[in-house]
Amino acid sequence: MARSAHGYTLRWRGPERGWYVRFRVHGKRHDLPTGVKGRREKAAAEIAAREIYARAVRGERAPDPRRSNEDFVKAADRWLNSVAVRDVTRVTYEKYAGYWVSRWSVLGELTDGAIAIYIRSRLREARGKTVANECSALRNFLRWCVDTGLLLEAPPVPKVDKAAGVGYRERRRVAAPELAPEEIWALIEMLPEKSGRAGWPVRARAIVAYTTTLRPGTLDKLRVPDHYSKGATVLRITHDIDKEGFAREVPLPQIARDALDSVCPDVGLIFGRHRLGPYLQAAAADALPPHKAAVFTAQHFRSAGITYTLERSGNLPGVQAIAGHRHASTTSKYVRAGFRAAQQVMSIWEPKREPADE
């Protein structure tokens, strides 16, 4: 802390925040950033502090170093081009930036109050977890603005309760029901081979989804010849089509190979992205008990497949690699303490039958 005879106090708050000037004018206390960051830049901070104090004495509003007339769209574009993240994360950041530029035209409009209003507004549109992710990206953007000199200080972005948000309980994904292999295969048999007018594969996609445990988003992007060619024994998952950016080869059982070969084009998308809901709901209503049919979604092919392969193989690292999980703890969550698993364990107590003598 450096005291001055001019009526203000110059204070150092560490490398993150820099030099601040504190004073009292007209009965009101002020504690303002000078905009000078370097510890050795005390002389420059002294000049800035003197100017801020003089403005306050004259009754003028002290300039806020966080205010900037920098165009928000240009700043966001520069940030997106400079940030080192996976392609899937970049796409998400682009979506978030689209929300921001629709609300703010210059960086100077990004104040504490404006951010609070933004968060309240987004919580009326999305669940808390989504808004928390947006706020995390906004903090990264603001840090970049400070590092590049577009802002002298970033306004704080408060944390968001992930359980908040209008309609959170209604919109959150329903937990997957416990589905036996017989139920899944019965449902698959009820599916049409192709969708209506577009003729996208439906049944083959369900078979591949269940046996490979791939995410629906990855199945949407599978292409020939990038990821599969007719007669191949593996799927080549590239980092750009995987949620976790996990590039790998997924070995294919014969039933999955047959399904792929039956719908595989010479080039282009194999399955594509289209509406599966009506077909799945109709098939689930015919093949599953009502309480399971009511909540069944395309994602449940994956969860049921992971559970089944874990039960049958007991090979956690292998299932982790196929499913594309970065951590084994994620894969282990699919282990179900259910009757089917218990029945398999108790079968060890059954007496082994000796082959009859001929």
- Whether residue 82 is found in the same domain as residue 106: yes
* C-alpha–C-alpha distance, residues 236 and 213, integer Å: 14
Question: CATH code at 271?
Answer: 1.10.443.10
- Whether residue 142 is found in the same domain as residue 219: no
- pLDDT of 7 higher than 60: yes
Q: Is residue 347 part of a domain?
A: no
Q: Is residue 354 part of a domain?
A: no
Whether the bond into 225 is cis, omega within 30 of 0: yes
Final residue of a structural domain among 57, 86, 104: 57
Please tell me what DSSP assigns to residue 202: S
- Whether residue 126 is found in the same domain as residue 217: no
Q: Is residue 310 part of a domain?
A: yes
- pLDDT tens column, 225-268: 999 999 999 999 998 899 888 899 999 999 999 999 999 999 99
| Count of domains for the chain | 3
- Whether residue 269 is found in the same domain as residue 299: yes
**For position 254, what pLDDT does the model report?**
95
Q: Is residue 176 part of a domain?
A: no
Domain span holding position 12: 2-57
- Whether residue 163 is found in the same domain as residue 258: no
Token output for 160: 């968001």
- pLDDT tens column, 95-152: 898 889 888 888 877 877 788 888 888 888 888 888 999 999 999 999 898 888 788 7
- Whether residue 143 is found in the same domain as residue 211: no
Q: Is residue 135 part of a domain?
A: yes
- pLDDT tens column, 257-309: 999 999 999 999 999 888 888 899 999 999 999 999 988 999 999 999 999 99
Q: Which among 134, 126, 136, 133 has a CA at the least distance from the CA of 165?
A: 126
State the pTM of this model.
0.57
- Whether residue 143 is found in the same domain as residue 203: no
